[in-house]
Chains A and B, each alone.
Chain A
C-alpha cells in the first residue's frame, strides 16, 4: 500500500522535474542575453564569435539544441538529460553534475543544520506560547516573528561577522567551511561534519562546527520566528479540538492531555519542515555569499552572472530535485503517521 504510494509519487516527481527542465531550457534561451559575447569578450572578431558560437552549439536551431539537451540526438558524446548527463559548464568545461556533487553537500549541511536548530528552539517555545496564549512568551514570540521574519539575512550575517568574528573574536572569520590551514578530509559524502568523523579528523570536525556557527545562527535568526508562529498555531488548534476537551472532561492529568495534543500538533509540523527546507534553500543563496561557502547557491549565482546555461539548468534542477525529495520524504512520513492523507 505504502509502496504503491511512494512509486506513484516518485513518478510524479520525475515528470515534474522533466517539465521544469524543459521550462528552464526555453525560458533562459528566450531571454535577450548573449552568452557568446560574454564568453569571447565584446571586442572579439566576428570569426572568433562565430567559432565560439559553434563550439557551444548555439548556432544550431533551437529545437536541435533542445534534442541535444535531452539526449535525443543520435551519436552525441556524453548523452543528455535522459542519459543522466547535465552537460558541461561553458565556463569551466567540467561536467555540471560533478560540480553540483561538490557544491550541493555544502548547502544541504547548512540548511539541514539550520532547520534542526530552528526546530529545537521553536517546538518548545511555540508549544509554551500556545499553552499560555497572551502570556509573556507568546507576546515575545509574536514580536520576534514580526521582526526577525522580515529581515535581510545577508545584512544580519555581516553584522554577526562584525560582532562575533572581528570585534569579540569568538567566531572564525568567514573563510569557508573550516580552518584554511587544515587539510580537508577526503570526501566520502561531501558533508564536512560527516566526512571528518568518518576519516577520524577531529580537528577538522571542531573547526567545521566553529565555521558553521555564524551561518547557522544567521539562518535560524530569520526563519525561527515563522516556525514558532506556526507551531503555536498547530498546538492551539490541537488544544481546542474535541478529543482534548473530552480528555480534560474525563479528568486526565494536564500532562497526559498535553502529550495527546503534542502528537496531533506535530503531524502538521512535519509538513512545515518541507516548506521551510525550501525557504532555507532560497536563503542559502545570499547567506553562502556572506560566509564564502561554495554551495549550490553560490554556484547558481556564478552560473547566472556568467550566462553559463548548462550550469544554470543543472543548478535549478538540483535545487528543485532536493525540494521535491524532501517533500516526498515528509509526505511518506505523513502517510505512515496519518493514513487519511494517503487517499488524496
Chain B
C-alpha cells in the first residue's frame, strides 16, 4: 500500500555488485556460522551444563574474568571441579546464562527456519503459478501479496502473534505470512522470464501439459533468486523472533530464547549486571551476521 508511484523502488532495492571481496571467504565464514548454529539447535540443550529452565542457588553471579578462563576450562575438562562454572554468569533467578544461551539456539533457529522454509515453499509455489499462468486470478494474488508486503513487518507480526496466542506455532505462521510475499515476488519475476524461453516452447511442442512444464521445467529454473534470499530471510526471522519476545509478544518465560533473555537482562544493567543481556545478544549478533554473509556470498555467486 505504501508503494511509490514512480515504481523505481524495486530497481533501487536490487543488490549492489560486491566491490571484490573474496566471495569464497564470505561463503566459508557464512557456512561455518550457519552450520554451528544449526548444530547448537540440534544438540545445544544436551550440551548445556545446567538445566536452562531450572534455577541454581546462585543469583547474579558474574562470569569469571578472562584471566581465569584457561584454568577453569582445563579444570572442567579434567574433571577437577565439583560444579560446572557459570561461564556467562547467572541471572536474577539464578538461571545459568551459558546454558540458556546455548539452549535458546533451538528455540530461535527452529522458529526462524520453520517460518523461512514455510514461506519459501509457499512463496515459490504461488510465485510460480502467478508467473507462469497469468490471468485475473493470479493478478489478484499478486495484488494481495503487495498489500501484505506493505504492512509494517514488526507491527503485523506482533498483532498476529499476540492475538492468536503466544505459541511457537503461531510465531512460525506469522513469520510465514510476513515473508511469503518476498519469495512470491522473486519467483514470479523469474518464472515470467523463464516462461518465454525456448525450452518451454519445446516442451509444449512435445505435448507436455502446462502444470507439468511449470513444475518440472520452470520451477527448477526459477528457484535460484528465492534460494539466495532464504539465508538473508532466516537472519531477519531470527531478529524478528527475538524482537517479538523482547517487547513481550513472543515466546513466554521461562523458555530459553535470546530476545526474552535480553529483555529480562535489560533491567539488570541498573545493578551493573551486564552479562545477562550481553551474551544472548552476542549470540543473535553472530548468528545473524553469519546468515547475512552467507546470503551475500550466495548472491555474488548466483546472480
Contacts and interface: CB of A to CB of B under 8 A. Distances in A.
Contacts of A300: 155, 158
Nearest to A230: B12
A232 B6 contact: no
A82 interface: no
Contact of B277 (A139, A155, A286, A331): A155
Contacts of A31: 159-160, 163-164
Contacts of B14: 233
Given A139-B19, A278-B2, A320-B2, A162 B293 contact: no
A304 B163 contact: yes
A271 B12 contact: yes
B159 A282 contact: no
Given A134-B19, A150-B235, A159-B278, A271 B288 contact: no
B289 A147 contact: yes
A324 B154 CA distance: 17
A126 to B, nearest CB: 10
Contacts of A164: none
Interface in B38-62: none
Q: Is the interface of A mostly helix, strand, loop or mixed?
A: helix
A323 B247 contact: no
Given A28-B159, A31-B164, A162-B278, A152 B243 contact: yes
A316 interface: yes
Contacts of B162: 33, 304-305, 307
Contact of A150 (B8, B152, B292): B292
A20 interface: yes
- Category for how many chain A residues contact B: 35 or more
Contacts of A307: 162-163
16 contacts: A27-B159, A31-B160, A139-B20, A142-B16, A152-B242, A155-B285, A158-B262, A271-B6, A271-B12, A278-B2, A312-B159, A315-B155, A319-B155, A323-B152, A331-B4, A344-B6
A216 interface: no
A285 B247 contact: yes
B2 A324 contact: yes
Contacts of A161: 269
Contacts of A272: 12
B36 interface: no
Contacts of A156: 281
B118 interface: no
B1 A286 contact: no
